[in-house]
């Protein structure tokens, strides 16, 4: 069982307010008890919403997150609040997916992660954006 549960402030906190943007939303993590093993975690948010930066019209989509944790795992309630914080943010779909990836990698430093945004059609065209991260393996310099 995770030894640092008392550090999770959002889970079971009884609060249901939503942050007003990703800069105000915290992504909480907990210790990965199986750090010695590679395994995938899949997370899907079917209610992602942001706003078009030009027209202000809403963009609806599904955000799919898949990662191999290293030392930390993402706590899902904080992730939900983080993703919901985009509801009033004017951002292009491409930027949203890449920003989500950057913020999640910074929060948990996984071995691998991919974020896919599947956005509903507006003007007859749907868009899918995929961004991925792979932890760089440390190499030993043989010249020294």
Domains and CATH numbers, the chain: 24-134 (3.30.1130.10)
Please answer whether residues 65 and 112 qualify as being in contact, where contact means their C-beta atoms are separated by less than 8 angstroms. Answer: no
The pTM for the full model equals 0.84
Identify the DSSP state of 90.
B
pLDDT in tens, 36-81: 999 999 999 999 999 999 999 999 999 999 999 999 999 999 999 9
**Of the residues 23, 38, 45, 52, which is catalytic?**
52
Out of 4, 42, 59, 143, pick the active-site residue.
59
**Cβ contacts of residue 69 below 8 Å, gap of 6+?**
32, 35, 39, 41, 108, 110, 111
Asked if residue 131 lies in contact with residue 115, where contact means CB atoms within 8 angstroms, the answer is yes
- The verdict on whether 45 is a catalytic residue reads no
Number of alpha carbons in the 13 Å side-chain half-sphere of residue 91: 21
**Taken in order 28, 30, 35, 39, is the CA torsion positive or negative?**
negative
Active site residue 52: yes
- The tally of CA atoms less than 13 A away on the side-chain side of residue 22 is 20
Tens of pLDDT along 84-143?
999 999 999 999 999 999 999 999 999 999 999 999 998 899 999 999 999 887 666 655
Q: What is the CA radius of gyration of the chain?
A: 17
């Amino acid at each position: 069982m995770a030894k640092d549960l008392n550090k999770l402030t959002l889970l079971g906190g009884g609060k249901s307010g939503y942050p007003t943007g990703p800069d105000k939303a915290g992504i909480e993590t907990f210790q990965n008890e199986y750090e010695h093993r590679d395994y995938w975690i899949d997370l899907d948010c079917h209610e992602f919403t942001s706003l078009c930066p030009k027209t202000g019209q809403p963009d609806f989509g599904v955000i799919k997150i898949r990662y191999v944790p290293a030392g930390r795992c993402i706590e899902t309630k904080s992730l939900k609040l983080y993703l919901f914080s985009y509801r009033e943010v004017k951002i292009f779909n491409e930027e949203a997916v890449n920003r989500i990836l950057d913020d999640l990698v910074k929060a948990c430093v996984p071995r691998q992660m991919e974020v896919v945004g599947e956005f509903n059609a507006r003007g007859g065209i749907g868009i899918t954006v995929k961004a991925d991260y792979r932890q760089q393996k440390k190499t030993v310099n043989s010249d020294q």
